[in-house]
């Protein structure tokens, strides 16, 4: 994670930001008004690919900045990309229409304004059940219960989408650190005994402080 980038890699990141700043208004109009959106978004991804083809970007409106978009750069937990994500954040310029963020942060009071109402609504519609917790590795196995409105006929893409919401909830660093397996099921009629997905960050913090397996029995009975 602390690996230093070489000068050429840093220059590539600086070139990306130069291009983004020069085309910022066109990118804003593409997302806000749909003007030349296909061409502009294709150019955005092509220029980001020079930095890395594995970096994922999310562009969405923020609650506390209704006239600006958030552009968030994520490694999706892929540690080898962390130095590039960090350097993207360190080199971000002053932007007129966008606010740049790096890494998916955990859903909490301090970070809540980074999310749109729609994302928070989707997260709140999901329930989870802890199936297992390994004290040594501090990793959990979860079942994620989803409403039918969040999935489609394409089951693979639906699961990836649900995993993305899980990353939005936990933050990508904590996702990599604490999630071992995730299983998916539709929400049952009776949700008694299930946790809301939004409660997961706090609950994992609590589990990480537990030292004795006998204390965990109450959660898995």
Mean pLDDT of 48-74: 88
**Domain extents in the chain:** 7-103, 117-215
pTM over 0.75: no
CB atoms within 10 A of CB 173: 18
Specify the higher pLDDT residue, 41 or 76.
41
- Give 113-145 pLDDT, tens digit per residue: 666 778 888 899 999 999 998 888 889 999 999
- What is the pLDDT, as a whole number, of residue 135? 84
Q: Are 111 and 194 in contact (CB under 8 A)?
A: no
- Strands 98-102 and 127-134: what pairing? unpaired
Specify the higher pLDDT residue, 50 or 110.
50
Is residue 209's pLDDT more than 60?
Answer: yes
Q: Are 107 and 169 in contact (CB under 8 A)?
A: yes
pLDDT bracket for residue 196 (50, 70, 90): very high
């Amino acid at each position: 994670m602390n690996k230093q980038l070489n000068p050429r890699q840093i220059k590539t990141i600086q070139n990306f930001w130069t291009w983004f700043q020069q085309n910022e208004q066109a990118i804003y109009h593409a997302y806000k008004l749909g003007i030349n959106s296909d061409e502009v978004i294709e150019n955005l991804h092509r220029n980001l690919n020079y930095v890395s083809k594995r970096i994922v970007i999310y562009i969405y409106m923020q609650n506390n900045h209704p006239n600006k978009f958030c552009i968030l750069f994520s490694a999706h937990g892929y540690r080898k990309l962390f130095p590039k994500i960090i350097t993207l954040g360190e080199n971000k310029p002053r932007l007129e229409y966008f606010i740049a963020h790096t890494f998916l942060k955990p859903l909490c009071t301090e970070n809540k304004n980074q999310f749109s109402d729609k994302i928070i609504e989707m997260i709140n519609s999901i329930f989870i059940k802890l199936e297992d917790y390994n004290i040594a590795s501090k990793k959990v196995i979860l079942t994620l219960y989803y409403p039918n409105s969040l999935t489609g006929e394409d089951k693979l893409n639906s699961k990836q989408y649900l995993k993305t919401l899980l990353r939005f909830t936990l933050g990508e660093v904590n996702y990599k650190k604490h999630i071992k397996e995730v299983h998916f099921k539709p929400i049952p009629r009776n949700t008694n005994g299930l946790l809301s997905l939004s409660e997961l960050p706090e609950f994992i913090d609590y589990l990480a402080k537990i030292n004795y397996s006998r204390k965990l029995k109450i959660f898995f009975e």
